[in-house]
Structure 1
Amino acid sequence: MSLDTNQLLRFTTAGSVDDGKSTLIGRLLYDSKAIFEDQLAAITSISKRKGHDQIDLALFTDGLRDERAQGITIDVAYRYFTTPKRKFIIADTPGHIEYTRNMVTGASTANVALILIDARHGIIEQTKRHAFIASLLHIPHIIVCINKMDLVDYAEEVYESIRSQFEEFSSKLYVKDIRFIPMSALHGDNVVNRSQHMPWFQEAPLLYTLEHMHISSDLNKIDARFPVQTVLRPQSKDFIDYRGYAGRIASGIFRPKDKVTILPSGLTSTIKTIDTSKGSLQEAYAPMSITITLEDDIDVSRGDMIIKTNNTPTQTQEFDAMICWLNTHTARPRTKYTILHTSNEQKAMIKEVLYKIDIDTYQRNLENKDLAMNDIARIKVKTTRPLMIDEYRDNRITGSFVLIDDGTHETVAAGMIL
């Protein structure tokens, strides 16, 4: 199968503080020539003012003044770049334990997770933490970047030892594909170009691996789900009696003449047309934004879901989920929150905390159930009206949600439905 060069790949970086995440991204951008000349000139000038003998590659992503002052990445930095083979979006996440929530945010839409390990220190608690979160979010591909190999004399035995340890503990995790690359981001070994210092490593460097990563199978093409975001009723003589239901396809494929059901009402109809700003389509699939018109004049509104009649999601007011608590304030039992699930918004509460996860040991904590910032737990959620849900492992869109505090309007939790 030939690679679709227009296919977008999203990847996230994770690792402990000073493992070289920002330097790695800078090296990817620099060696792949994905940096504008004026930006390169500015970074070169800043590097000289700092007294560096060479370009400080980390400055390509550490753009905030606070980050530069502290020498650490303090938020999720998104960066877009493209090569002749593929388009990429990078989410660079912080390494500190207290910023676990940022990794959840950055990794939530990723196809691939890059987990960096300092070759001098090997696997540490944060390595296991990040691997667990990647597994929890069902990121299908992990690339373990064993960085700073130049500081251990490019020793093959160091690489093999770390690889063996990672494979041992990751065997408990849900990950389809794990690959390992020894590298030096600072000097460019095995990032874009193959390393001359590690002839014992015969596999492809990082960029080639990312460019040729096959990700189409990661999309759910079976369960047709179309959350309605808005109803279009143009006031124009060219669109007399036009009534369209606009939104973004969460999963699956839709075609004109498909038999569909509207949830939660259960009303049925047939797709008349699938429209876009560029004209009508004979086929539409995730994650396209479209407008669907129906053969029948039935009641459809924002928050409803159009599905194929022979393939229905679960409709329920109560379900289990794994959540990451994102707020500085501890969760309040049985407090009402606003739940956002696809285009559906309603009231919900945490009915019960079943257990928390110690993500350093992967053990369940059944005693301390108070949810503090960055805690990951299994909970029971109860909503005021039924939601149309799928399990997160089957559908990232219809299997995920966020909780909003009604008083502060802050996002307090992100959840994955089980």
Structure 2
Amino acid sequence: MQIDNNQLLRFTTAGSVDDGKSTLIGRLLYDSKSIFEDQLAAIENTSKQKGHIGVDLALFTDGLKDEREQGITIDVAYRYFTTPKRKFIIADTPGHIQYTRNMVTGASTANAAIVLVDARHGVIEQTKRHAFIASLLQIPHVIVCVNKMDLVDFSQEAYDKVIKQFEEFSSKLLVKDIRFIPISALLGDNVVNRSENMNWYQGAPLLHTLETMHISSDENKVDARFPVQTVLRPQSREFIDYRGYAGRIAGGVLRVGDEVTVLPSGFTSKIKSINLYDQELEEAFAPMSVSITLEDDIDMSRGDMLVRSNNQPQLSQDVEIMLCWLNNSPFKPNAKYIVRHTSNEQKAMVKEIVYKININTLERDTEDKGLDMNAMAKVRIRTTKPLMIDSYRENRTTGSLILIDEATNETVAAGMVV
């Protein structure tokens, strides 16, 4: 299989506290020679000041002062690196239970998730929680890295035990591709280079797995969705009759001559032209930002959506979503919220909490109707005007939304359309 050298792979790392996420990312960057000399010199100097022998790999990602002092990762740390075979964006997410919301944020655009498991402790509640969130966010590939194999004498028996524990649990998850790799992030075994200490493992190291993993595009190439961000009416004489609708294509392909429907009004027309700066295009696709003109003069504004007439999203004021509560203040049943969905903004209320998910046991609780920070629940919301939605599984852009507190203007929750 041919891998596109310019193809971008986004992956997130998650695991319990002290499972070695930051050390693993540091090892990936260090051994793949993706670190600038001045950065390496600064980390080497900090490592010496802390009394470490050699380079403290975790410092490559734990950039915040508070994190370095506590030795934990608090925020989502994004890192970028490139190998001859692929480009990567890493989202290093926190392991503590109180930072569940950070993992949801970091993993929302990921193609793959690396879940770290300490070989000494095996699968614990936080492992299950992170794997469940990866499943909930429809991440297609999960790589379970059984770390700290050096502390169990590189034992195949210890590795097989973790695999059995994880497989028993993951049979309930909606993840098609789960892979297992025994590693030692500290020593570098099976991270970038094959381990000489684990000849019993016949699979590929982590970096080779990431470089050769087949990923489908982030974008839905089938369902044409064009949320309108603004209407362009140039004042120059050259464009005196120009009325263009500008925005970013959220899915599918649009071509000149296509019959399209304007939602929510339902009026139809055909695409007259597609413009990218000063270029005229015959077609455009997600995630391009373009300006589109129509053959008919139709009243359209920000928040409307252009779709193909024979392929339309669901139009609804009552929407079921899986919600992660992000705010420090708990959910208030009668509070007024603003929903932001693509370029559309509507007032909304939470009609019903269908069930809450116990993040540790993954059980559904239909009795508890409260939402605190990091809580995850299935809810029904009602908006003042219809939203043009697809399920999150079909389209991550038209299938996601955020709730904003009308009184404080704070983002309180992120939701995925079921």
Same fold at TM > 0.5: yes
Displacement, 1:216? 2.0
- What SS is found at the alignment partner of 2:106? helix
Separation (CA, whole Å) in 2 of partners of 1:53 and 1:97: 31
Match of 1:172 in 2: 172
Displacement, 1:218? 5.5
Match of 1:315 in 2: 315
Separation (CA, whole Å) in 1 of partners of 2:228 and 2:193: 46
- What SS is found at the alignment partner of 2:178? strand
1:347-358 to structure 2, matched below 5 A, reads: 347-358=347-358
Separation (CA, whole Å) in 2 of partners of 1:276 and 1:416: 31
1:97-246 to structure 2, matched below 5 A, reads: 97-216=97-216, 219-246=219-246
Checking the alignment, whether the CA contact within 8 Å between 2:47 and 2:54 is kept in structure 1 is yes
Separation (CA, whole Å) in 2 of partners of 1:213 and 1:248: 28
Separation (CA, whole Å) in 1 of partners of 2:95 and 2:233: 48
Checking the alignment, whether the CA contact within 8 Å between 1:256 and 1:274 is kept in structure 2 is yes
Match of 2:267 in 1: 267
Match of 2:57 in 1: 57
Separation (CA, whole Å) in 2 of partners of 1:220 and 1:415: 19
Q: Give the partner amino acid of 2:145.
A: C
Structure 1 unaligned runs (5+)? Answer: none
Displacement, 1:274? 2.0
Deviations 1:243-284 (A, max 9, x none): 222222111111111111110111111112222236233332
Separation (CA, whole Å) in 2 of partners of 1:279 and 1:32: 40
Q: Give the partner amino acid of 1:307.
A: V
Separation (CA, whole Å) in 1 of partners of 2:212 and 2:233: 44
- What SS is found at the alignment partner of 1:69? helix
- What SS is found at the alignment partner of 2:142? strand
Deviations 1:4-43 (A, max 9, x none): 1111111111101111111111111111111111111111
- What SS is found at the alignment partner of 1:241? coil
Q: How many residues align?
A: 418
Displacement, 1:395? 1.3
Separation (CA, whole Å) in 2 of partners of 1:185 and 1:11: 17
- What SS is found at the alignment partner of 2:303? coil
Checking the alignment, whether the CA contact within 8 Å between 2:190 and 2:205 is kept in structure 1 is yes
Checking the alignment, whether the CA contact within 8 Å between 2:219 and 2:287 is kept in structure 1 is no
Separation (CA, whole Å) in 1 of partners of 2:115 and 2:182: 12
Q: Give the partner amino acid of 2:3.
A: L
Separation (CA, whole Å) in 2 of partners of 1:152 and 1:105: 34
Deviations 1:203-248 (A, max 9, x none): 1111111111211255422111111112222333443322222222
Q: Determine whether 1:92 maps to 2:92.
A: yes
Separation (CA, whole Å) in 2 of partners of 1:277 and 1:200: 57
Displacement, 1:298? 1.3
TM-score by length of 1: 0.97
Q: Give the partner amino acid of 1:120.
A: R
- What SS is found at the alignment partner of 1:161? helix
- 370-379 vs 225-234, greater mean Cα deviation: 225-234
Match of 2:394 in 1: 394
Separation (CA, whole Å) in 1 of partners of 2:158 and 2:52: 29
Separation (CA, whole Å) in 2 of partners of 1:5 and 1:92: 23
Match of 1:291 in 2: 291
TM-score by length of 2: 0.97
- What SS is found at the alignment partner of 1:160? helix
Checking the alignment, whether the CA contact within 8 Å between 1:334 and 1:351 is kept in structure 2 is no
Separation (CA, whole Å) in 1 of partners of 2:390 and 2:234: 33
Checking the alignment, whether the CA contact within 8 Å between 1:43 and 1:56 is kept in structure 2 is yes
Checking the alignment, whether the CA contact within 8 Å between 1:264 and 1:388 is kept in structure 2 is yes
Checking the alignment, whether the CA contact within 8 Å between 1:140 and 1:218 is kept in structure 2 is no
Separation (CA, whole Å) in 1 of partners of 2:189 and 2:232: 53
Separation (CA, whole Å) in 1 of partners of 2:97 and 2:218: 29
Separation (CA, whole Å) in 2 of partners of 1:324 and 1:364: 15
- 277-286 vs 383-392, greater mean Cα deviation: 277-286
1:7-18 to structure 2, matched below 5 A, reads: 7-18=7-18
Q: Give the partner amino acid of 1:393.
A: R
Separation (CA, whole Å) in 1 of partners of 2:399 and 2:90: 23
Separation (CA, whole Å) in 2 of partners of 1:118 and 1:150: 11
Checking the alignment, whether the CA contact within 8 Å between 2:357 and 2:375 is kept in structure 1 is yes
Go from structure 1 to structure 2 and tell me whether the alpha carbon gap of 1:271 and 1:45 turns closer, same or farther (over 3 Å shift).
same
Q: Determine whether 1:415 maps to 2:406.
A: no
Separation (CA, whole Å) in 2 of partners of 1:6 and 1:281: 23
Deviations 1:37-83 (A, max 9, x none): 11111111111111111111111111111111111111011111111
